[in-house]
Amino acid sequence: MANWTRACATGDIEPEDLIRFDHGTRTFAIYRSPADEYFCTDGLCTHEQVHLADGLVMDYIIECPKHNGQFDYRTGAPERSPVCEALNTYPVKVEGEDVFIDIG
């Protein structure tokens, strides 16, 4: 069963960028792609639990600010070491000017 939570407004994120969203004890990263689509992953790198919101977004890649490991934020797949464990990803929907994530 979906548990949709409003995370931000569409205008809060520039294309090819991300924002941090904290909900309870969890941290998420919400991305806006070059194609104006929205995606969501866990907000902490799987390598050393660093906040990805401080990282660099290029196309569909998020680069961790600590050791430059990279993930494809659409799938969570690791793309460059030292990361080897995928990020969890979450469904996203846009209604009007609001971005919602399904945090289960």
Q: Are 78 and 70 in contact (CB under 8 A)?
A: yes
**Ordered mean pLDDT values, 10 residues apiece, the chain (104 residues):** 93 97 97 97 95 96 95 97 96 98 90
pLDDT at residue 2 in the model: 82
Q: Following DSSP, what letter does each residue of 32-64 receive, concatenated?
A: E-TTS-EEEEESB-TTT--BGGGSEEETTEEE-
Determine the pLDDT at residue 60: 97
Cis bond before residue 82 (omega within 30° of 0): yes
pLDDT at 104: 78
Spatial separation of the C-alpha atoms in residues 63 and 65, rounded to whole Å: 6
Q: What is the pLDDT of residue 27?
A: 97
d(Cα 101, Cα 73) in Å, to the nearest integer?
14
**Which pLDDT value is given to residue 50?**
94
Under 8 Å between Cβ of 92 and 4? no
* Full-model pTM: 0.94
Q: Which domains does the chain have, with CATH numbers?
A: 4-102 (2.102.10.10)
Quote the CA–CA distance of 82 and 98 in Å, as a whole number.
Answer: 34
Per-residue tokens: 45 = 């790198």
**pLDDT, position 19:** 98
Q: Which pLDDT value is given to residue 78?
A: 97
